Chain A
Amino acid sequence: MRTTIFLLLAVGLMNAAAATTSELSGYVAAEGSVFFNSPLSPEQERHSASLALQPEFYHEWENGSGFLVVPFARLDSADPERTHFDVRELNYLWLADRWELRVGVGKVFWGTTEFVHLVDIVNQTDLVEDIDEEDKLGQPMVHLSIPRDWGIVDMFILPYFRERTFPGRKGRLRFPLVVDTDNAKYESAAEEHRLDFAIRYSHSIGDWDIGIYHFNGTGREPTLLPDSDENGEPVLIPLYEQINQTGVDLQLVAGQWLWKLEALYRTGQADDFFAAVGGFEYTLVGVAGTAMDLGIVAEWAYDDRGDEATTPYENDAMFGFRLTLNDPASSQILAGLMQDMHSSARAISIEASHRIGSNWKATLEAWAFLDAPEDDLFYSFRDDDFVRLGLAYYF
């Protein structure tokens, strides 16, 4: 309903004002995922193929105000939960001299580190897309941004909560018990209609980029409770608690070193806790006399809750290499190793991309989950090592 009003409003304004720029862009992508081992449950499909479409329409007026629509749809051969549609963005931007206001469905990112996106909270994770948690669902919001010489203040009213997506019965990369997303529970009686709020201050001072925020509302990370569904089958029910979370993100440039830190303190979800991730990125330019750049990333993630953490990163070290070939095809390879500091559990990931011609892009993603003990979240993925190949056309 709300989005309909925004759409009508925007279309009305579109007719009223003199148009300057309109454009349609986006991509269509095909991918295939090959798993090396049989699934743990006979319900799961072994391999999968998938098709995704994300067009983007943008219209901008002479005064800089604009209207943006980004729908997203995916068809998946194996998992009906991964077959999904989402409005990634649908918003109107009012650009004034001393502030800007975005109303509608939007997307924002907060954070500095590479492996874990700890403090990024506004948009819900679209977990069926990828386990790297970088895909996000569109979030209805009223977002006022006030840029000043002394920094930027961002204020958010978030009128509708988006539930996290989880793989279904037939999907892979899931827990032994399926997460029953149709029966999510809320701490708030208003459920997904509770108004959430966030305020953030960010600034660049010399070599420092700093951000600090407070969020009050429905926690994006559910607690998963063992239960049974209407057929009496054991499932996990997501419980979304009311939380208060204060977060900071810092980055310091020191020569070829980038030092990064993200930290948060959360109350309202079981015991109050602290979590942080920090590390560095070091870039070698023109390695071995070539035009290639090599970035070395090392990070460490810590969560006060230890084994009770709702993320896999309770005390983990992460190392990565990013090789940028600087060729016309913008070829890039990113390899990472995540090692649990308290157990043998580790995961290896590889991501690579290569442009073909001017409109096509080939991608490769691979994950291996090694030696996870039974109490580790990655234990559920022990037979889910996979390679995913993708081909996308951008228009």
Chain B
Amino acid sequence: MLSLLLLPRVAAAETPEEKGLAIAQEADRRDTGFSDFTADMLMVLRNKPGQESTRKIRIRMLEVEGDGDKSLTIFDTPRDVKGTAFLNFTHKVGDDDQWLYLPALKRVKRISSRNKSGSFMGSEFAYEDISSQEVEKYTYKWIRDEVYEGKQCFVIERYPVDKKKSGYTRQVSWIGKSEYREWKVDYYDRKKSRLKTLTVKGYQKYLDKYWRADEMNMVNRQTGKSTRLVWSNYKFRTGLTDRDFDKNSLRRVR
């Protein structure tokens, strides 16, 4: 009875911050429970004159209950970096743990996760863009509702909790109202000017619940360079375990 009375009052008193957080939590809740997935990714780097170079990458992701996800990123091309692997343990609070495997030396190298604003393998994606997006890493604010490319969207702003380490002061995100899929993100740099824009295309539904995009395009507004990620071969619940994400797994990567 008490809760029934309280509910409308909370909703009525919802601030833009609370609404923003609620949207982020709902998006996160809808993507919970996938356990693990593997996918192939083609990374296409494009410079201002339009010259392209490509990287073939494999991704393995493990959902971790109560903490951030674990991911393993394996490079197949260019051939000179074949077998290079990047292991990331995302944490809801505090720095991520990251290791890089250098196959020529058989060396597993711990890397500093404070480099999160650094370029991921020469692309327009920073480490912080590709690591798993935990709700706790940002504070939120709902800005407005807007139609984006014919889709009813919430427009929310995200502010990094760890302001010193992030390369951004804020991110503006367009999230579809029907399925809570993210269609577009504007990234603002430390000088508060727009740095990059991410657009997402071709969402497909897996296991009748989890939406994954076929294509993501990150355009750097300041340099004119861009990076396109073309995803394929998504497989969910493949039976990956913690063993597939320990330091030995880096040495086994092919």
Contact = CB atoms under 8 A, between A and B. Distances in A.
Contacts of B80: 27, 330, 355, 359, 361, 392, 394
Interface stretch (B22-30, B102-110, B204-212, B230-238): B102-110
B68 to A, nearest CB: 15
B114 A355 contact: no
Nearest to B165: A255
B252 A204 contact: no
A294 B228 CA distance: 26
A394 B78 contact: yes
A25 B254 CA distance: 11
Interface in A45-71: 58, 60, 64, 66
A253 B112 contact: yes
Interface in A181-236: 202, 204, 207, 209
Contact of B110 (A93, A95, A107, A251): A251
B97 interface: yes
Interface in B5-61: 45, 47, 51, 53-54
A328 B119 contact: no
Interface in A71-114: 93, 95, 97, 100, 107-109, 111-112
B248 A145 contact: yes
Interface in A279-338: 283, 285-286, 291, 293, 326-328, 330
Nearest to B243: A147
B122 interface: yes
Given A23-B254, A108-B106, A328-B45, A152 B246 contact: yes
B199 interface: no
Contacts of A60: 254
Most buried by A among B77, B108, B122: B122
3 closest A-B pairs by CB: A394-B79, A326-B119, A285-B118
A293 B118 contact: yes
Contacts, number: 101
B194 interface: no
Interface of B: 45, 47, 51, 53-54, 77-82, 95, 97, 105-108, 110-115, 117-119, 121-122, 167, 223, 243, 246-248, 252, 254
B79 A395 contact: yes
A58 B76 CA distance: 14
B117 A286 contact: yes
A106 to B, nearest CB: 9
Interface string A241-261: 000000000010101111000
Given A60-B254, A100-B252, 8 more contacts: A66-B252, A100-B248, A204-B97, A285-B118, A291-B122, A327-B122, A392-B80, A394-B82
Given A27-B80, A152-B247, A328-B122, A21 B254 contact: yes
Contacts of B243: 97, 147
A93 B81 contact: no
Contact of B79 (A256, A285, A359): A359
A351 interface: no
Which size class do A's interface residues fall under? 35 or more
Nearest to B77: A358
A283 B112 contact: yes
Given A109-B105, A204-B97, A256 B118 contact: no
Contact of A285 (B53, B106, B117, B121): B117
A134 interface: yes
Contacts of A152: 246-248
Contacts of A359: 78-80
Given A25-B82, A209-B110, A251-B110, A358 B53 contact: yes
A255 B95 CA distance: 8
A320 to B, nearest CB: 15
Contacts of A328: 45, 47, 51, 53, 122
A291 B79 contact: no
Given A152-B248, A358-B53, A107 B106 contact: yes
Contacts of A358: 53-54, 77-79
Interface string A1-39: 000000000000000000001010101000000000000
A25 B248 contact: no
14 contacts: A27-B80, A66-B252, A95-B252, A100-B252, A108-B106, A109-B106, A152-B246, A255-B114, A256-B112, A258-B112, A283-B112, A327-B122, A358-B79, A359-B79
A283 B111 CA distance: 10
Nearest to A256: B114
A172 to B, nearest CB: 24
A251 B252 CA distance: 22
A66 B83 CA distance: 15
Contact of A93 (B51, B97, B108, B252): B252
Contacts of B78: 330, 355, 358-359, 394
A293 B122 CA distance: 10
B38 to A, nearest CB: 14
A152 B108 CA distance: 14
B115 A285 contact: yes
A147 B248 contact: yes
A328 B51 CA distance: 10
Contacts of B223: 291
B47 A283 contact: no
A326 B225 CA distance: 12
